[in-house]
Amino acid sequence: MLKKILILATAVGMLAVSHITYTAKLVYGEQSTVVTKTVGTVTANSSLYLRESAATSAAVLASLPNNTQVDIISQSPANWYNVSYNGQTGWVSGEYLSVKTITDASVTPVVAMTVGTVTASSALNLRKSAVASSVILSSIPRNAQVTVISKDANDWYNVTYNGQTGWVSGLYLTVKTVAVTAPVTGVSRSDSSKLVDNALSLQGVPYVFGGTSRSGFDCSGYTQYVFNGSGISLPRTTAEQFKVGSSVSPEQLQSGDLVFFSTYAPGASHVGIYIGGERFVAASNSGVSISSLDSDYYKSRYLGARRVR
């Protein structure tokens, strides 16, 4: 059975400075780290002394004004906190400190994603369903890498390859989890997360040319629907959507950005929503599914990205 391995980083003492939960196991789909830190806010009427050691008789290093926030390193049994403030480390009495744990925005999150490498002697068939008699969608060359979405009880893997989603036999696939840097979301992390969650919840909805509802989407109908769910209005067509917002370079991509491709027609003719880890979700011929920007198909057709928020 696949087991989740959690590595919790803690500081010496009763309280932890930061808690970093890493995913180091085969869990299909994307798993992000949770990065937090413990901080304290000064509640003294005027100010709180930062002292050299955990005693009221210790030398005063600095005076911390009311409502000042400090980073907590540890806590002593006598309710003194070892803290850091403006580059200076010392001790303060816990009697005048309100302590809480917050997200540490200074640490770049990491995403664990599951990938598979084809080990078949020549090529591996990507099939419509998880049986050997199912329709063949395409042929995946030996040593090609696919993004793994899920696995069934019979050792068949639901994967994405070159923008196409289907099933392959696990007999010819070497599977592992890799870690990739996930860009920190932009103006509002919570809003971007909600938008991406909404986008991912629609996986499996079929492709319908001109479709704009859960009954079926085309690519721009899908992005328009998802953004509308977050209170953001987008034009109807891919070409028009490519004109809104601000341009984003590949190095600055953030979850929730729109990514555009030139596929069946010149200019912007396909659009999806970036979800981190060099992946995006879009309505394509196989329905709403996740694809990789690094795939040969999409890498050669990438046109640009826009940030609309």
In-domain check, residue 85: yes
User: What total of structural domains would you count in the chain?
Assistant: 3
**Does 6 fall in a domain?**
no
Distance CA 227, CA 170 (A): 36
Same domain, 92 and 149: no
Reported pTM: 0.44
Identify the CATH number of the domain in which residue 233 sits: 3.90.1720.10
The CATH number of whichever domain residue 64 belongs to comes to 2.30.30.40
Same structural domain, 135 and 153: yes
**Do residues 124 and 154 share a domain?**
yes
Q: Same structural domain for residues 193 and 301?
A: yes
Question: For position 36, what pLDDT does the model report?
Answer: 64
Question: How confident is the prediction along the chain (309 residues), in pLDDT tens digits per residue?
Answer: 333 333 333 333 344 344 433 333 454 555 555 456 788 899 998 899 999 999 999 999 999 998 888 888 888 889 999 998 888 899 999 999 998 876 555 555 555 678 889 999 989 999 999 999 999 999 999 888 888 888 888 999 988 887 778 899 999 999 988 765 544 433 344 456 788 888 988 999 999 999 999 999 999 999 999 999 888 999 999 999 999 988 888 888 888 999 999 998 889 999 999 988 889 999 998 899 999 998 989 999 999 999 986
